[in-house]
Structure 1
Amino acid sequence: MTTPTKTTTVTQPVPPSWKDLGKAASDILGKDYPIHGSTLEVKTRTPSGVTFRVFGLHDNKSQNITGDLEASWNNRKRGLAVTQAWSTANVLRNHIELENHLARGLKFELISTLVPEKQAKNALLAASYRAPGVHARNFIDVFKGPLMTADVVLGRDGFLVGAETAYDAKDKKLARYNLAAGFYAPEYAVALHALGNLSTYSASYYHRVNSDIEASARATYDSKAANNVNLEVGTKTYLDNAAFIKAKINNSGILALGYAQALRPGIKATFGLALDALKLTNGSTDASAHKIGAALTFEA
């Protein structure tokens, strides 16, 4: 008697959203380099589930000090989240999220901003759907156009394809269209983007070399720019469980360094430095070519 073979169905994971395609490489090249100024961020959470966040920035270029005060409340059982923020520029922001109500994986959002002094306002209605093998999003910018944006990412066995398009209802024309493709594995990822109505192309690569070292590279070609080719390479090295160092350099000779240290649970300090290597080699003393900054985060 032949024993029937049991077929195992492998569930496809939910792919990343359009904005997160190539995120692993972008994080290595873009995060933890506080080179434009000094920031202070304080987060606290009350027993009732309300989170308060205060963020301040001292900009090295303008010497201006700006800040945000934000309060958010999240009820995960009901799939409801509300965030309100007020900045020193007198900008009021509201963000309401409603998830998993009409269908599992379906999320609705209302994002609005108001500048009372200028009587300027903006409202964005968003809907997203996440399921095995698909991640789709739709946005309607109510007061601009209205402008309707949609993007979708499909994934299977690590392969990803995505597209984004925006339609201006007032002018009745396609405002933009973009394409992307990629492959994701536990230890490496590759992403290809065709942006700006297929006028700008980029390719990024991320590799987790081992448990302590990560590396990434990104090449960009802009057919409309004078210097139409840009190349960046970067790495991240974990010194221990509480500290890491990052470094990156591009073909313009800009070298950036970042160092992050967890001083104690809930307290993190990050330092950044950017140097124009070309001006170092020719003996220039122009201090404006170099940037330095720091960030301090408290969370309780």
Structure 2
Amino acid sequence: MAECCVPVCQRPICIPPPYADLGKAARDIFNKGFGFGLVKLDVKTKSCSGVEFSTSGSSNTDTGKVSGTLETKYKWCEYGLTFTEKWNTDNTLGTEIAIEDQICQGLKLTFDTTFSPNTGKKSGKIKSAYKRECINLGCDVDFDFAGPAIHGSAVFGYEGWLAGYQMTFDSAKSKLTRSNFAVGYRTGDFQLHTNVNNGTEFGGSIYQKVCEDFDTSVNLAWTSGTNCTRFGIAAKYQLDPTASISVSTSGRRAGSYSGSLGGEESWPGIRSPC
């Protein structure tokens, strides 16, 4: 007698974002594409051997200061390793080594160091992140001569609801220097985010994807001890795959147009905010 195979409906695995990315969709509508007094150019490319190169240059029209960065990245996928070298115009060198999904599934360890030849200043940081269904944890140790600082965060998610906590402990002062809490809810086209920072700053945001090409965002913030409430509305419309228009009213009205130079085929990875 032949067995009847009944397909099993599996629930999709939901991994919550890290604490720093809570409310990110709403913030991006306000922040991306608006470069007041700043001219910036980003270029990315990849060699045949798999080495990724990215460079960024910016000029502040108010101060005249010009700055730039150069980054190379190589991924050794077989062993889950990523090697990154960084340099900027302040003559600071950085090296980052990351290993992911090797010790256990969902765990990422990163060793990050910087060195400034001009001043001789050195810094080091060990980062760890663990993400699985319904949970996203992070713990970073920032080494300093006065004493290491420990940064920790945790986000829990269940059926679209999110709750997170973020803290920083300064071992030199033996006290918490940061204590933030956030609650949110998200679906495919809607996100709600509220947060309390250090018990004094209160904020909230709403992100709504009205249709495939139109995104809107509302932001509200208040600091205890003041009578000032900050409120803003922003929207982004995707004209085509290579161009978009953004508008924002947050303290001041702003508009922006962003497009791809020559299209992805002739200028891959290049963006020009206007």
Does the alignment reach a TM-score above 0.5? yes
180-189 or 140-149, which deviates more: 140-149
Contact residue 217 and residue 233 of structure 2 kept, 8 A = yes
Deviation sequence 1:210-254 (CA, Å, 0-9, x none): 112110011011125x5631111100011122211000012x3x1
Contact residue 44 and residue 54 of structure 2 kept, 8 A = yes
**Aligned equivalents of 2:46, 2:9: Cα separation in 1:** 44
SS at 2:231 equivalent = strand
**Aligned equivalents of 2:32, 2:130: Cα separation in 1:** 27
Amino acid in structure 2 at the alignment position of 1:112? T
What is the Cα deviation at residue 145 of structure 1?
2.8
Aligned position for 1:180: 182
What is the Cα deviation at residue 71 of structure 1?
1.0
1:244 and 2:272 aligned? no
Aligned position for 2:263: 264
Unaligned runs of 5+ in 1: 272-300
Higher relative contact order (CA 8 A, sep 6+): 1
Aligned position for 2:171: 169
Aligned position for 1:280: none
Amino acid in structure 1 at the alignment position of 2:191? A
Amino acid in structure 1 at the alignment position of 2:173? D
**Aligned equivalents of 1:236, 1:217: Cα separation in 2:** 12
Aligned position for 2:193: 191
What is the Cα deviation at residue 7 of structure 1?
8.1
1:233 and 2:233 aligned? yes
Aligned residues: 264
Contact residue 12 and residue 156 of structure 1 kept, 8 A = no
211-220 or 69-78, which deviates more: 69-78
Deviation sequence 1:38-72 (CA, Å, 0-9, x none): 11222221111111122111111210111112111
SS at 2:26 equivalent = helix
SS at 2:25 equivalent = helix
What is the Cα deviation at residue 165 of structure 1?
1.2
**Aligned equivalents of 2:126, 2:25: Cα separation in 1:** 28
Aligned position for 2:125: 124
SS at 1:29 equivalent = helix
**Aligned equivalents of 2:177, 2:239: Cα separation in 1:** 46
**Aligned equivalents of 1:142, 1:167: Cα separation in 2:** 12
Amino acid in structure 2 at the alignment position of 1:264? G
Contact residue 12 and residue 157 of structure 1 kept, 8 A = no
Runs of 4+, deviation exceeding 2 Å: 5-12
SS at 1:33 equivalent = coil
Contact residue 41 and residue 271 of structure 2 kept, 8 A = no
**Aligned equivalents of 1:67, 1:106: Cα separation in 2:** 32
Amino acid in structure 1 at the alignment position of 2:254? A
**Aligned equivalents of 1:191, 1:166: Cα separation in 2:** 21
What is the Cα deviation at residue 11 of structure 1?
4.4
2:159 to 157, 160, 178: 157
Aligned position for 1:61: 62
**Aligned equivalents of 1:189, 1:76: Cα separation in 2:** 33
Deviation sequence 1:78-127 (CA, Å, 0-9, x none): 21111111111111122211101110000001122222222222211110
What is the Cα deviation at residue 157 of structure 1?
0.4
Amino acid in structure 1 at the alignment position of 2:181? L
What is the Cα deviation at residue 169 of structure 1?
1.7
What is the Cα deviation at residue 162 of structure 1?
0.2
What root-mean-square deviation, in Å, do the aligned CA atoms of Structure 1 and Structure 2 show?
A: 1.9
Aligned position for 1:73: 74
What is the Cα deviation at residue 8 of structure 1?
5.3
**Aligned equivalents of 2:247, 2:78: Cα separation in 1:** 41
Amino acid in structure 1 at the alignment position of 2:216? A
Aligned position for 1:46: 47
**Aligned equivalents of 1:14, 1:147: Cα separation in 2:** 27
**Aligned equivalents of 2:8, 2:212: Cα separation in 1:** 35
**Aligned equivalents of 1:9, 1:67: Cα separation in 2:** 48
Aligned position for 1:297: none
Aligned position for 2:3: none
What is the Cα deviation at residue 160 of structure 1?
0.2
Contact residue 189 and residue 206 of structure 1 kept, 8 A = yes
What is the Cα deviation at residue 76 of structure 1?
2.5
TM-score (norm 1): 0.83
